Structure 1
């Protein structure tokens, strides 16, 4: 809905900001609450 959100890490680390442009998927890029995903953390400009 907003185009961004936060991922919760299984290791207890800080939540990670994610923007819809970072989702590697064809078509409509969306995640649902509780959905399991794999991700790499990268430092951005902010």
Structure 2
């Protein structure tokens, strides 16, 4: 599992970006956030994630 830091996340639009430890920007959508309650991320939060190719890349 990869690790990175939340670059920004827009609660009203439901998406944002994570900067991977290798420096790449990784798109994140609220529907992929695991956990109970409101699905959001905070800028600067360290996260673990699994990336996958979507229809747009």
Structure-2-length-normalised TM-score:
0.73
Task: Give the strand-richer structure, 1 or 2.
Answer: 2
* Aligned-CA RMSD value: 0.8
Extract structure 1 runs of 4+ deviating beyond 3 A.
none
Counterparts of 1:12-31 in structure 2, within 5 Å, are: 12=23, 14-31=24-41
* Residue of structure 2 in register with 1:37 after alignment: 47
Q: Which runs of 5+ in 1 are unaligned?
A: none
